[in-house]
Amino acid sequence: MVAAAVVVGAVVIGTKDDGGKETAADAGPSASASDRPLSSPSDAESSAAPSGSEDPGEGAPLGGGSEAPDGDPGASESAAPDASESGPPGDKVPYVVLDPGRCFDHPAMDSSVTKVEKRSCQGPHDGEVIANETLSGDFSTEKAIQTKALALCATDAKKRLKSIPNDGRMYYYYALYPALGTYSIQGEDQVSCALTLSAGRDGKKLSKPLPG
């Protein structure tokens, strides 16, 4: 397994196991919860969803905050966590692709883990994957690929929230996506979109599968 700098691609060893694909090497998700929460439920259409990002593959640094994609109405003004809040800027975690319905903990949201860990949805967990998307096109910066991944997940999050009963909770959308080098050099293009209850580290966790 070869490790590399955030912006450099590296040879990776890919393994597949129970509903997920992991690429370890230069993979390193950058976790960032975007800054606008999506209110649960009925007003999902008008509420904004904060996004989180995961930069697997060559991985972006943990905690590279991002803003919700344009067009997310009614977003709150809470700021996305920065690298100092989510983890050291140079930290990287393996790139993973998780199937919809899979629950997990992520180092950007849980200080007790150092990589994406699959969890039972019947116990405490940071997020639950709601959809997978495919990146396409050319990107010149980590920020550009992050923005695209979050935009793809914003659409899925709004759609999923329509099926969640109004439970008074604030939901955030989170994207697990490949770092620039992992995408452009290694060809990894899958994005796992998830919903969480926290936009920062060691915040509120889900304790059961998403309703609806």
The reply to whether 167 falls in a domain is: yes
Q: Are 160 and 128 in contact (CB under 8 A)?
A: no
pTM of the model: 0.68
The predicted-structure confidence for 5-59, as pLDDT tens digits, reads as follows 112 111 222 222 334 554 433 333 344 444 445 554 434 333 444 444 444 433 3
The reply to whether 81 falls in a domain is: yes
The pLDDT value recorded for residue 83 is 28
In degrees and rounded to multiples of 5, residue 39 shows phi and psi of -70, 150
Q: Are 28 and 94 in contact (CB under 8 A)?
A: yes
pLDDT band at 106 (very low <50, low <70, confident <90, very high): very high
Where does residue 207 rank: exposed (0-12), middle (13-18), buried (19+ CB within 10 A)? exposed
Q: Is 165 helix (H, G, I), strand (E, B) or coil?
A: coil
Residue 156: closest CA among 57, 55, 69, 74: 69
- Measured CA to CA, the distance from residue 132 to residue 111 in angstroms comes to 25
Residue reference for tokens 């950058």:
30
Q: Which domain holds residue 79?
A: 13-196
- Measured CA to CA, the distance from residue 43 to residue 117 in angstroms comes to 31
Residue reference for tokens 């919903």:
195
- Measured CA to CA, the distance from residue 107 to residue 52 in angstroms comes to 12
The reply to whether 151 falls in a domain is: yes
The reply to whether 37 falls in a domain is: yes
Give the total number of structural domains in the chain. 1
The reply to whether 51 falls in a domain is: yes
The predicted-structure confidence for 136-169, as pLDDT tens digits, reads as follows 999 999 899 999 999 999 999 999 999 999 888 9
User: What percentage of the chain has pLDDT greater than the value 90?
Assistant: 47
**Widest CA span in the chain:** 47
Residue 174: closest CA among 76, 62, 87: 62
The reply to whether 209 falls in a domain is: no
- Measured CA to CA, the distance from residue 49 to residue 61 in angstroms comes to 22
